[in-house]
Amino acid sequence: MIRDFCRCFHGGGDFDSTDVADRDPVVLVSGIGGSILNSKPKKFGLEIRVWVRIFLADLEFRKKLWSKYNPETGYTEPLDDSTEIVVPKDDYGLYAIDILDPSLLIKCLHLSDVHHFHDMIDMLVGCGYKKGTTLFGYGYDFRQSNRIGQLIDGLKERLETAYKASGGRKVNIISHSMGGLLVSCFISFHSDIFSRYVNKWITLATPFQGAPGCINDSILTGVQFVDGFKSYFFVSRWSMHQLLVECPSVYEMLANADFNWKKQPEIQVWRKHCNNGETSAELEIYGSNECVYLFEEALKNNELNYNGKTVDLPFNFAILEWAAGTRELLNKTQLPEGVSFYNIYGTSFDTPFDVRYGSESSPIDDLSEICHSTPQYSYVDGDGTVPSESAMADNFDAVERVGVKASHRGLLNNEKVFQLIKNWLGVPSKVKGRHSKTAKVMDMHIR
């Protein structure tokens, strides 16, 4: 495999040199699934992008990204023990969170589905931010826990870099989705460092109290990112499921059982019962605590075949225990004095909350059948992934909380969001913030 890198430079936006010099640095922090992940041989060899990719997506995903949680280290480790998962640091950390499949094919086809922070990066460059001086990105191995040392230390290093590169100016963080939980965990461990380096923290679509419908179903059946014929070119639901059951980050986004929900989230299962030769269907209901039993029973026979060997992947109680510690940490996090906090959350989209499996006419017999069934949801208001109720409940003294009519990923390229961010960052009104085509790192894989 040959990797060919090329850089393309295009015109910038409407700003002058004084505008560039008068910007406080910004660090963009991605969420789950929002960073490029590469597989790197431990001894020697070329890195291979395993997330995100369109060409040979499912094959490379199974070979290089399937993982197993190690309770001794707290890390999720690849089944291929000759490799490690790394996040590219090109373009001051922005490359990994910009276009998640930056291949030449995707660029030629103009597929915007894999654009992540791309439009926001362009907007900020158009407002006078300069990569490597006042604009940085932080992508990370999102399989791992939000409080694991690798992720916390990486964020600390990025904040220090941005602070020094800008001449000692305090940093403004913009986080998306689970990235907000990572920032919260960082505050719990390093409140003094956060206070020293950070001026403002703007978070988008963060599941502060969890994302009940999506996460419950992800643990039970996986995630289908695209439907129809496109699904043949991407990671399958089943392949993704085998990864997610071993990801601490996923368990950490289970519904907070201690949160005072307007209505407690539930998993409902239509079960088949036989009594004296007669068959009936009964609706079983599992709350936030009871669902652990359901997870255990549904996943008790879950396994995969890797290089001819059977790997058992039941519900992982070691991860659940770790995630409970993370939740306890998040519940106690306090915003340091002197840091301004802003919260943008999505509204007006049907967002999964309760999940139901089976039906009265076609009930579930053995709970393990759930893993191969189709979920049905009841919905609440939100961004399609995170309920507004959860995203609003940050428990911080926010300067502003604003609901925006946009989907979970749509918040990253929404004009109203951009206007809010520019106002909060103090971008002068004379700067139009025209989107500009910025320097990109493109890779091309040829077999």
The residues carrying an active-site annotation are: 177, 383, 408
**DSSP one-letter string for 162-190:** HHHHTTSPPEEEEEETTHHHHHHHHHHH-
Which of 324, 295, 320 has the alpha carbon at shortest distance from 219?
295
Which strands form 135-138's sheet, in the order they lie side by side? 135-138, 26-29, 171-176, 198-204, 340-347, 400-405
Residue 299: burial class (beta carbons within 10 Å; 0-12, 13-18, 19+)? buried
Measure CA of the first residue to CA of the last residue in the chain; give whole Å.
5
Neighbours of 347 (CB within 10 A): 16
Rounded distance between C-alpha atoms, residue 362 and residue 359, angstroms: 5
Q: Retrieve residue 309's tokens.
A: 């060997």
Rounded distance between C-alpha atoms, residue 377 and residue 212, angstroms: 11
Q: Is 56 left (phi over 0), alpha (psi -120 to 50) or beta?
A: left
